[in-house]
Amino acid sequence: MEVGVGVLADADDTLRRSFGVWTFSAQAIVLPGSWAFAATALTIAIFGGGAPVAIWGTLGISACLCIVVACLAEYGSAYPSAAGCTYIASQVAGPEWGRFCGYMTGAFHCLGGLFSPPAFLIVLSQLLLTCAAIFHEDYVATRWQVFLLYQFWNAVALVVLLYGSRILPLLSSIAFVFLAGGLFLTIGLLVGFAPVKESNQIVWFDFQNLTGYESSILCAMLGLLGPVYGFGPPHFLLNMAEDVKNPSRNIPIGLAAQQIGSTIMLLAFYIAAYYTVLDYDALFESTFPSIVGAVYLGATQNKAVTLVLLLIVLTPAFFSCFGYFLANIRLLYGFARDGALPGRSWLSKLDGHRNIPTNMLYISTLVNFVLGFIYLGSSAGFSIILGSSGIFYCAGYMFFFIPTILTRRRYIGNGTFKLPFAVGMLFAVFTVVFEAWTMILYSLPPSYPVTAENVNFTPVFLVAGALLSLAGYHSYGRNHFQMTS
């Protein structure tokens, strides 16, 4: 059975296509915020196996994600829509199960999309307060200060997206320039100012277990969370299909650019950081909001250089955060536009002049405000928020990869990018296994023994999200959700 490229319905509600192939590729590279997330989660890899797990794990996770991305590139090329994976699931699952699978994918990914921006806001807030703390040794940032700055960034993002969405391609290009130039400058400053370099043996081969777990396997799995956080979910670009020209061709190009760019940035950062950091005890005792401040200060022994290095991380993260928010809002907009939620016309209202679904933007900003209190109330708040978003995305993937396998790719459309049948089947099976394994990673307590302070509530959020999604489908989505995005 041949299925053509998905056709977008409701042309009046279609977004303006403001991204060309080059600006879209730049947006793809800066969108995940790889550098900022990897820097913030650096201690995860230090505890969980050390430098070898971070470096070799980055290569391993990258190889696995290349397979996942190849599948997403094929599906996104065949079915370009602002609804992204939601629309894909509704198509590849076939007419009998398409409505249910599309709704469940959309529900899980919308839950993930609600948790993702707060994690980025926390990273930005921690980085900025770390810049302030570099020259004030007695200053110790508190969670409420991070929370206040978090709410400030949330308001800034609202204003930029509301009044400056047209210049987002330009902001993406600026962020890309900062990333490319900053990468070489960071390596040069770290290597040039570091008084002593770590040995090759420690950086590439010595495994260390500081998690408290007796099992080296569990320790390494925890360490791999660092690269996993750094790469982030690979599907965000699919939700920008109506922002880019010729999406059937350019979405696969953008996904390839994102994967290559993230791999290079993560490897360069981890290698440079671990060669120049010698005193791990100083990192664990650091009072900086972001551990990367202690990494850079310990490596260079120079406060001015440390501030420059922090700004190199902060600046592209600041610019890319708007594109990150936009992709999440497009996801929520696409799901609401398909009638998955009550109040479809209000939720999916599109401001044609500003090129933004304004009501969905307001809702997202409000959710960001509320979720900030999770960080304020728990020392593990950042891990809870970031892990919950990741596990929701993984769960959502299952509702179109498993049907693809069960239907033997019968409903895969013909886009510009197409995988051979055997390759597509093999890649889909691998993706299901990989995403299930990643869900286990997100659910592990960060250290042992497990206490009230370090307990991981991510599985609780997953179960609650699954029950909420099922209830939403049976009470509303079953009769109102459409598969015509």
For residue 235, the model assigns a pLDDT of 85
pLDDT recorded at residue 430: 97
Query: Both tokens of residue 111?
Result: 């839950």
Written as one letter, the residue type at 195 is P
pLDDT score, position 298 = 83
- For residue 40, what is the enclosing H or E element? helix 34-40
For the record, the structure tokens of 469 come out as 């999604």
pLDDT at 276: 82
Tell me, what's the pLDDT at 31? 67
Distance, CA of 44 to chain centre = 17
Residue 245 · residue 29 · CB < 8 Å: no
Whats the size of the chain, residue-wise? 485
pLDDT number for residue 232: 80
Q: Residue 389: helix, strand or coil by DSSP?
A: helix
CA distances from 146 to 35, 279, 375, 436 (A): 20, 26, 9, 33
Range list of H helices, 167-302:
168-193, 200-204, 216-223, 225-231, 247-276, 280-284, 291-300
* Spans of the chain, pLDDT less than 50: 1-15
How far, rounded to the nearest angstrom, does the alpha carbon of residue 89 sit from its chain's CA centroid? 20
Asked whether 74 and 418 are in contact (CB, 8 A), the reply is yes
pTM of the model as a whole:
0.86
In the block, residue with structure tokens 């900003």: 365
Q: For residue 2, what pLDDT is reported? A: 39
Spatial contact of 82 and 337, defined as CB atoms under 8 Å apart:
yes
pLDDT at residue number 319: 77
Name the burial class of residue 448, with classes exposed (0-12), middle (13-18) and buried (19+) by CB atoms within 10 angstroms of its CB.
middle
Cα angle 268, 31, 221 (rounded to 5 degrees) comes to: 55
Instruction: List, for residues 32-61, the tens digit of each pLDDT value.
Output: 667 667 776 777 777 888 889 999 999 999
The identity of residue 29, as a single letter, is: I
Report the pLDDT value the prediction gives residue 174, as an integer from 0 to 100. 76
Q: Residue 359 is encoded by which pair of tokens?
A: 């009501």
The pLDDT value given to residue 379: 60
Q: What is the sign, positive or negative, of the torsion defined by CA atoms of 466, 68, 484, 363?
A: positive
- Strand, helix or coil for residue 214: coil
Amino acid residing at 404: T
Given this model, what pLDDT does residue 255 score? 92
Give 77-129 pLDDT, tens digit per residue: 999 987 789 899 999 999 989 999 999 999 999 998 888 888 888 888 988 99
